Amino acid sequence: MKEFKGRVIAAGNWEGEAIVSHGGVNTLATFQNSALNNKDHAIVGDQNNKDIYGQNVTGKALCLPITIGSTTGGLVIQTVCQMGINPAAFLFSEHIDSLAASGIVLARVWEKSDVIAIDQLGEEFLNTVKSGDKVKISEDGTVTIL
């Protein structure tokens, strides 16, 4: 068991499975196919992200350094939250980018989503957590790898 403390962007308590991307996550490429095809879960469609391509991220803790890609990133996050196919949490090793932050905040305010976001967890966090690990998130920004 190992604990990491980050900055809370969108608070919540949660426990579940982690899915890990060591590279930036392109939100449009990741969620576009699932959102456009009105799926009940999000299968990562970004072929350039070998860590998570083809994986179901709905209801999991998406552990990543940062999001990348087009300026639609925030809208894409808000949309998948509105559809209920979003990751339960976005756990950033780096500072959250403005597009991801805007999408998460809008989803919390407009969609009443309970999506969690914590940033600044550090490089050691991303090097320690593995896809399939159980993680526990506390509303104070503590993430425990169980």
pLDDT, one tens digit per residue, over 86-108 is 999 999 999 999 999 999 999 99
We report the CATH number of the domain holding residue 101 as 3.50.30.10
Q: By C-alpha distance, which of 60, 51, 57, 50 is closest to 34?
A: 57
What is the structure's pLDDT at 70?
85
Domain that holds residue 12: 2-145
- pTM assigned to the model: 0.97
What is the structure's pLDDT at 86?
98
* Cross-strand pairs, 15: 136
Average pLDDT, the chain: 97
* Cross-strand pairs, 145: 2, 135
Phi, psi (rounded to 5 degrees) for 112 = 55, 30
What is the structure's pLDDT at 61?
98
Q: How confident is the model at residue 114 (pLDDT cuts 50, 70, 90)?
A: very high
Length of the chain: 146
Please tell me whether residue 125 adopts helix, strand or coil conformation: helix
CA–CA distance, 62 with 18 (Å, rounded to integer): 6
Residue 146, C-beta contacts closer than 8 angstroms, at least 6 positions apart: 1, 15, 133, 134, 135, 136
Task: For residue 86, give both structure tokens.
Answer: 């979003």
**Mean pLDDT of the region 109-136:** 98
pLDDT at 69 over 90: no
Split into its structural domains, the chain has a count of 1
For tokens 């980050």, name the residue.
6
